[in-house]
Amino acid sequence: MTKEEIIQKENLVYKKPELLNDVPMHYCPGCSHGVVHKLISEVVMEMGMAEKTIAISPVGCAVFAYKYIDVDWQEAAHGRAPALASAVKRLWPDRLVFTYQGDGDLACIGTGETIHALNRGENITIIFINNAIYGMTGGQMAPTTLLGMKTVTCPYGRDPKLHGYPLKMADIAASLEGTCYVTRQSVQNVASILKAKKAIRKAFEYSMQGKGSNLVEIVSTCNTNWRMSPDKANKWMEENMFPFYPLGDLKDNGK
């Protein structure tokens, strides 16, 4: 069998989802953002919700998410996406509404908006890309930066006396009455990617069923600012991030 015989439409196994358009994404080579963008695109398409989705992008590397996933988007001020999403969902209850935020956006400047939107049980999903660093602005310390981790604003390692402790936002979210589904996922290999996709689908379904707020944390890498290759970054994440931010469902009240 020749390669040409295999490469036929009827033999297609996997291709980039259509909702993820052809605009080249600006993310660094190996960045977790791209994988999550793919998953969101697939889930929205599979749910048949492309015409009824309103998404909110953050300030951070994913500020331009609206250029890549072909749904209606609103660009939020830094940290405020959950406030926008709260209003949008209350005004348009039959739409799929989600935010896409990094750790600086969600857990630092936006902590108030994050906790209150989740606590009010807004029927939205917050997708939380946690790579323990500020990517877009050049690798500064984030509220989720691990103790001992070196960044450009804690070049000698995060020291609790100087910088306090890392925040476990998913744990905080799980403790709130208003949250329905809180989970931590990752996207560094095929198995974890398939799990993450199921988690995103579940969260979106719950939000459409009016079951409350949902937080899908994706423990991720930032290979550029961690100063590693994409593959090494994945391994570092498995060894260092997963013990502190363990994967799995922290809460699932939607069943």
Partner 1 sequence: MAKMKGATVVDIERCKGCGLCVVACPLHVLALTTKSVNQKGYNYAETVLEDTCTGCASCAIVCPDGCITVYRKKEE
Partner 2 sequence: MAEKEVTLMKGNEAIAHAAIRCGCDGYFGYPITPQSEVLETLAAEKPWETTGMVVLQAESEVASINMVYGGAATGKRVMTSSSSPGISLMQEGLSYMAGAELPALIVNVSRGGPGLGTIQPSQADYFQTVKGGGHGDYRLITLAPASVQEMADFVDLAFELAFKYRNPAMILSDGAIGQMMEKVVLPPFKPRRTEAEIAKECPWATTGRTDMRKPNIITSLELRSEEMEINNLRIQAKYKEIEKTEVRFEEYRCEDAEYLIVAFGSAARIAKKVIAIAREQGIKVGLLRPITLWPFPTKRIAELGKRMKGILSLEINAGQMVEDIRLAVECKIPVNWYGRLGGIIPEPEEVVEEIKKMTR
Asked if residues 39 and 193 have their Cβ atoms less than 8 Å apart, the reply is yes
Which string of x and - marks every residue 106-145 that binds partner 2 (by CB under 8 A)? ------xx--x-----------------------------
Using CB under 8 A as the binding rule, whether residue 50 contacts partner 2 is answered as yes
Single out the residue of 27, 204, 206, 245 in contact with partner 1 (rule: CB under 8 A).
27
Residue 154 binds to partner 1 (criterion: CB under 8 A)? no
C-alpha–C-alpha distance, residues 245 and 7, integer Å: 41
Q: How many angstroms separate the first and last alpha carbons of the chain?
A: 47
Site for partner 1 in 167-226 (CB under 8 A): 187-190, 193-194
| Residue 49 CB-density burial (10 A; 0-12 exposed, 13-18 middle, 19+ buried) | middle
Q: CA 248 to CA 251: how far, in whole Å?
A: 9
**Which one of 16, 23, 46, 72 is in contact with partner 2 (CB under 8 A)?**
72
Which of partner 2, partner 1, none lies near 196, with the C-beta cut-off 5 to 8 A by kind?
none
CB of 129 to partner 1, least distance (A): 12
Nearest to 225 by CA among 161, 98, 139, 163: 139
- Does 229 engage in binding with partner 1 (CB under 8 A)? yes
Which neighbouring-strand residues pair with 96?
53
- Residue 180 interface partner, choices partner 1, partner 2, none, CB cut-off 5-8 Å depending on type: none
Which residue lies nearer to partner 1 by CB, 27 or 206? 27
* Angstrom distance (rounded) from CA 244 to CA 146: 8
